[in-house]
Amino acid sequence: MKEKVASIIDILKARYPDALCALHYGKDYELMIAVRLSAQCTDARVNLVTPALFAAYPTLEDMAAADIADVENYVRSCGFYKYKARDIVLGCQMLLTDFGGKVPGTMEELLKIPGIGRKTANLLLGDIHGKPGAIVCDTHCIRICGRLGLSKGKEPEKVERQLRQILPPEESNDFCHRIVLFGREICTARKPKCAECPLAMHCQEVNLG
């Protein structure tokens, strides 16, 4: 398994040398907002919505003081907009009141913020704080790691625990970003491009088929 993981990481690195988050942001708290909006929504849609939102509320203080109904109008197209607008405003208020205006750097603190679960917290720990061992178990990660035989099941927390045992901590955050890129380009949910997949030799579905 160690050799398999190392091979997969090397192949993904070669194909996607820039392991960047697909969400656009300029300030740390803006990433927190963008990730909340991305739930049940595409990153592309979020990136269309956030420029106007961030322009309307250019500081953390502005966002924390925003009328939730007004924020709803900006994020409506992202789905579940009432919940997301509420979490955005309340989350920004908590950053100011509880965390000195900064996105906190521990899982325990992040999970206290409205709308933040383990997936979001791991992304923030990896991208903002550079913490090793951050594993973002989104649908791409769960699907592809299952196909590659790196994990079993579809429950995010269980998959996260399995991957934590086999991924080098210093590689895990970038690995998850590359898996998203790979999932969009090659290993799609419905019609994976198996014939041109650089990881085919490691894929259980291809080899079993």
84, 87, 127, 138: the catalytic one is 138
- pLDDT of 205 over the 90 cut: no
Average pLDDT over residues 144-148: 97
pLDDT beyond 60 at 164: yes
On whether both 99 and 156 belong to a single domain, the answer is no
Annotated active-site residue 138? The verdict is: yes
- The boundaries of the domain holding residue 115 are 28-127
Same domain? For 140 and 100 the reply is: no
Q: Per the residue annotation, which of 87, 119, 127, 174 is the catalytic one?
A: 119
Does 144 share its domain with 186?
Answer: yes
Count how many domains the chain has. 2
What is the rounded average pLDDT of the residues 40-62?
97
**Dihedrals phi, psi of 116, to nearest 5 degrees:** -100, 120
Per-residue pLDDT band for 207 (boundaries 50, 70, 90) equals low
For a pLDDT cut of 90, what percent of the chain falls above it?
Answer: 96
Residues 122 and 32 in one domain: yes
Indicate if 44 and 114 belong to the same structural domain: yes
Mean pLDDT of the chain: 96
Domain end call among 98, 127, 156: 127
Evaluate if residue 209 carries a pLDDT over 70: no
Rounded Cα–Cα distance for residues 134 and 127 (Å): 9
* pTM for this prediction: 0.92
Q: How far apart are CA 197 and CA 12, in angstroms?
A: 11
**109 and 182 co-located in one domain:** no
**Amino acid 101: pLDDT:** 98
**Is 70 marked active-site?**
no
Any domain includes 146: yes
In CATH, what number is assigned to the domain containing residue 67?
A: 1.10.340.30
Boundary (domain end) residue, out of 127, 155, 189: 127
Which residue pairs, CB below 8 angstroms and at least 24 apart, start in 115-119? Answer: 115/36, 115/39, 115/83, 115/84, 115/87, 115/88, 115/90, 115/91, 116/32, 116/36, 116/91, 118/156, 118/157, 118/160, 119/156
Q: Is 159 within a domain?
A: yes
- Residues 61-115 pLDDT 10s: 999 999 999 999 999 999 999 999 999 999 999 999 999 999 999 999 999 999 9
